[in-house]
Amino acid sequence: MTSTPAKNTVALSQQLAWTARMLHAVEQGRSLADALPTVPAALRPGVQALTFHALRHWGQATVVLQLLAQRAPPLLVRALLGVALTLLCTPATPGAQPDYAPHTVVDQAVAALAALKVPRAQAGFVNGCLRRFLRERPELEAQAAQDAVARWNHPFWWVQRVRRDHPQHWQAVLAANNQAAPMTLRVNRRHVARDAYLAQLQAEGYTATPVGEDGVVLARAVPVERLPGWAQGHASVQDAAAQLAAPLLLQGAALPARARVLDACAAPGGKTAHLLEYADLDVLALDVDPVRCTRIHDNLQRLGLQAQVRAADAALPAQWWDGRAFDAILLDAPCTASGIVRRHPDVRWLRRPDDIAQLAAQQARLLQALWPLLKPGGRLLYCTCSVFKAEGEQQVAAFVARHAAEAKVLPAPGHLLPGGAVPLDGINDNAAGGLDGFFYALLQKAPLA
């Protein structure tokens, strides 16, 4: 993030007001993906950067605010104070702090109240809270650090769950979630070799390193339209962990020509596209949301790929299946998204503890519904972008126990933890910033006797 705004940039007070609206929306259960488009286009990049920063430090800010204010202020005022405190608090990670002078943050936060249309009497309260924080910062931060929510910037139940599921790595997982994820590309091998594309990037002044079979990690994020060959479909944005799906499902599989493959929960189409880049396949891509199906179409069109795309609920095959079995199935199941908090910092504050059980039940229904659609000898790759074991190894163990006679577990990575908390040979070794959190299980149906 940049330093204090220059003369010709948008006033910080305007950005703070809109950031407060974003934080208020999240606290009301609305996702940033839904809320951010309401921000005026000229303000959106700065507001998104401030909002991401605030969400990564929201636990600390809210605990400090509780110490500063005996009575809870109005919700928008609380959100504004929280945003300002995330700019004033000492970050756990050096270099993670936007460079605004403390007096500027205080003054601009007070000025932001006018845009939020809250009573003018709140100006003194906001000013007083922030100035008291600056006077007593070491004591207040030390006191807040005794609270796990402030220390780890996650809900307490989330901290407990990660600690239980990954007792050797829970601290690394939580710390990784508070870092910005790198921008990773998947090179379209049908258009250009990965190393050739890497050379193009470097020739145009981009610092980048290879990862996996088709991936490239950029040292700094850039607008996609500036990437060489973007409009021609030479590359897509996709984390290295997600790029494992296509090779896991297809490598070593005895697939017929033009094998029939189902991508069961396909939107926005990244894994669908990678499957088609990887091999000549007859792919059916499903998603329950018709709007998201449009995104699949758009992504495939840019990449020069074709698949049958249908809006349908994968858990209800009677409504869409034509009775022809699939040679392979990819089930990227709906989940808590607890593995991609680096990219979606609102997720941790939107989720509730009972979401895990509800989503695990949905995952189980999908596995049960799709398994009969797989040919004998075929493969099903189950994956989630979650670090919670209930959505990963526990889910698969329960499924295999129900289908012990016909389901064989093939080698797969299992749980990948965000930011390289646990290195994965051949992937994390050269993935700057590590991978997103993912789970992979590869199941094979027993062939006919």
Looking at the structure, tell me whether residues 129 and 258 fall in a common domain.
no
Looking at the structure, tell me whether residues 268 and 343 fall in a common domain.
yes
Q: How many Cβ atoms from other residues are within 10 Å of residue 160's Cβ? A: 14
Q: What's the CA gap between 257 and 263, in Å, rounded?
A: 18
Tell me the per-residue pLDDT of 283-296, one tens digit each, with 9 for 90 and over: 999 999 999 999 99
What total number of domains does the chain contain?
Answer: 3
418, 178 contact by CB (below 8 A):
no
Phi-psi region of 332 (alpha: psi -120 to 50; beta: other; left: phi over 0): beta
In a domain, 365, yes or no: yes
Q: What's the CA gap between 387 and 166, in Å, rounded?
A: 9
CATH of the domain at 222: 3.30.70.1170
Tell me the per-residue pLDDT of 36-68, one tens digit each, with 9 for 90 and over: 999 999 999 999 999 999 999 999 999 999 999
Supply 158's token pair: 């989330």
Looking at the structure, tell me whether residues 60 and 123 fall in a common domain.
yes
Nearest to 126 by CA among 110, 107, 144: 110
Looking at the structure, tell me whether residues 259 and 324 fall in a common domain.
yes
What's the domain range around 215?
183-237
pLDDT at 94: 57
Domain boundary among 133, 151, 169: 151
In a domain, 3, yes or no: no
Looking at the structure, tell me whether residues 298 and 222 fall in a common domain.
no
pLDDT at 424: 55
Q: What's the CA gap between 53 and 83, in Å, rounded?
A: 9
Q: Is pLDDT above 70 for 8?
A: no
Supply 144's token pair: 């807040």
Looking at the structure, tell me whether residues 423 and 361 fall in a common domain.
yes
In a domain, 166, yes or no: no
Looking at the structure, tell me whether residues 59 and 106 fall in a common domain.
yes
SS3 label, residue 9: coil
- What global pTM score does this model have? 0.93
Looking at the structure, tell me whether residues 207 and 125 fall in a common domain.
no
Nearest to 359 by CA among 398, 397, 386, 399: 386
Looking at the structure, tell me whether residues 131 and 268 fall in a common domain.
no
What is the set of active-site residues? 385
Q: How many Cβ atoms from other residues are within 10 Å of residue 122's Cβ? A: 18
Place of tokens 């858990």: 315
Cα 3 from chain centroid? Answer: 27
Looking at the structure, tell me whether residues 319 and 194 fall in a common domain.
no
**Edge-to-edge strands of the sheet including 374-384?**
308-311, 281-287, 259-263, 326-332, 374-384, 438-445, 407-416
Domain boundary among 219, 237, 255: 237
In a domain, 5, yes or no: no
In a domain, 4, yes or no: no
264, 314 contact by CB (below 8 A):
yes
Domain boundary among 213, 237, 261: 237
Measured CA to CA in angstroms, residue 157 lies from 293, 354, 446 at distances of 34, 11, 40
Looking at the structure, tell me whether residues 312 and 258 fall in a common domain.
yes
In a domain, 161, yes or no: no
In a domain, 159, yes or no: no
386, 339 contact by CB (below 8 A):
yes
Nearest to 407 by CA among 439, 377, 446, 380: 446
Tell me the per-residue pLDDT of 134-180, one tens digit each, with 9 for 90 and over: 999 999 999 999 999 999 999 999 999 999 999 999 999 999 999 99
Q: What's the CA gap between 232 and 188, in Å, rounded?
A: 10
CATH of the domain at 274: 3.40.50.150
Looking at the structure, tell me whether residues 271 and 232 fall in a common domain.
no
Tell me the per-residue pLDDT of 413-439, one tens digit each, with 9 for 90 and over: 999 999 765 555 545 444 556 799 999
Backbone angles phi, psi at 165, to 5 degrees: -75, -30
| DSSP-derived secondary structure for 36-75 | GGGS-TTTHHHHHHHHHHHHHTHHHHHHHHHHH-SSPPPH
Tell me the per-residue pLDDT of 347-394, one tens digit each, with 9 for 90 and over: 999 999 999 999 999 999 999 999 999 999 999 999 999 999 999 999
In a domain, 344, yes or no: yes
CATH of the domain at 22: 1.10.940.10
